[in-house]
Homo-oligomer: A and B are copies of this chain.
Amino acid sequence: MRRVRFSVATSLDGYIAGPNGEIDWITMDPDIDFGSLMDSFDTALLGRKTYEMTWKQGGGGGMAGLHAFVFSHTLNQADCPGVVVSHSPSDTVQSLKSVKGKDIWLFGGGGLFKSFLELGLVDSVELAVIPILLGGGVPLLPPPASLARLELLGHRVYPKTGTVALTYTPVCNSFKPSPLRGPA
């Protein structure tokens, strides 16, 4: 069964971009096989803002080989050539999983990731942890506070840059959109 994988680089303190969208702090470790990673996907899922900021402008951002789905209640299909506009994450994922194919890249942003977590649609959380602290920026999981327990499935360290690749799967039904419990 093809899987929905949220795969992203993050700072050690949990930011996927700087305060102004900077990503120049992301070191590309020469030992990470990006070709193989990209080849494991044939589909990308995007939120509206991510689509408008990165995908649409770059004509697919160098990922023109991927089938792209954009989740939005406001975009019109006619205005979005080359991608499929969807209103329903659950329906789209169910439909994609009902046919054979490669894995599905939950490209982002964080809001879409959060919605997918809440709906139990994320199969894998794959972080490349860059050895840097940013102290602010675009968070991996946007506020308000929620809670998602994960199970560690694998790890790999890339010594040339100190990047740590961590692979998790969400623990079923652990997502809590409400605030955490108070101290005991």
Contact B135 A22 (CB under 8 A): no
Across the interface, which residues of B come within 8 angstroms of A140, CB to CB?
12-14, 133
- Give the Cβ gap from A102 to chain B, nearest Cβ, in Å: 26
Contacts A12-B168, A150-B12, A162-B152 given: A181-B131 contact, CB under 8 Å?
Answer: no
Q: Is A183 an interface residue (CB 8 A)?
A: yes
How extensive is the interface on chain A, given as a class? 35 or more
Give bound CA distance, A147 to B136, whole Å.
9
User: Could you say how many copies of this chain the assembly holds?
Assistant: 2
Contact A180 B22 (CB under 8 A): yes
For chain A, residues 1 to 17, give those with C-beta under 8 angstroms from any C-beta of chain B.
10-15
**Inside 8 A of A131's CB, which chain B residues have their CB?**
149-152, 168
For chain A, residues 79 to 136, give those with C-beta under 8 angstroms from any C-beta of chain B: 114, 117, 127, 129, 131-136
Interfacial residues, chain A to chain B (CB-CB below 8 A): 10-15, 18-25, 114, 117, 127, 129, 131-137, 139-152, 155, 157, 159, 162, 164, 166, 168, 179-184
| Sampled A-B contacts (19; CB under 8 Å) | A10-B13, A12-B14, A12-B150, A14-B14, A14-B139, A14-B140, A18-B180, A19-B179, A23-B183, A131-B168, A133-B140, A133-B141, A133-B147, A134-B145, A134-B147, A135-B143, A135-B145, A152-B162, A162-B168
Known: A114-B135, A136-B143. 17 other contacts (CB 8 A): A14-B139, A18-B179, A20-B179, A20-B183, A22-B182, A25-B147, A117-B133, A131-B149, A133-B147, A133-B150, A135-B144, A135-B145, A135-B146, A135-B147, A151-B162, A155-B157, A155-B164
